[in-house]
Amino acid sequence: MMSNDEPTDLDWVQLRKEMGAHQHVETTSEKFSRKFTENPFVPIGCLATAGALSYGLWSFRTGRKKMSQQMMRLRIVAQGFTITALVVGVMMTTTKGLAK
């Protein structure tokens, strides 16, 4: 049996409506901007990876095999940079959360 002190489903709906009026919902562009300022190296690494991959595939298609090989090696370096930036960002966020 339920006691009278327990909230019902409708109470939760009302509570969410009341709380929603005071909370700011972050848009996609606001979230991207916030994440970019927190750790700008991740999107830079992603763009470098995509650029090296695209140019490497284009070089391979046009028959410039040496340039294609160099771009694929650069892609690996850019991927490593991106992963390192992610790990460092997670570690910094974790230590910032523990310091609070």
As a whole number, mean pLDDT of residues 24-42 equals 88
Has this prediction a pTM greater than 0.85?
no
8: left (phi over 0), alpha (psi -120 to 50) or beta: beta
- State residue 21's pLDDT score: 57
User: How high is the pLDDT of residue 1?
Assistant: 47
| Domain segments of the chain as ranges | 63-100
Exposure of 28 by Cβ count < 10 A (0-12 exposed, 13-18 middle, 19+ buried)? Answer: exposed
Cα–Cα distance for residue pair 6/66, rounded to 1 Å = 71
What is the mean pLDDT of the segment spanning 35-55? 93
Q: What is the mean pLDDT of residues 64-80?
A: 97
* Maximum CA extent, the chain: 77
**What's the whole-number average pLDDT of the chain?**
86
| pLDDT tens-digit map of 84-97 | 999 999 998 888 87
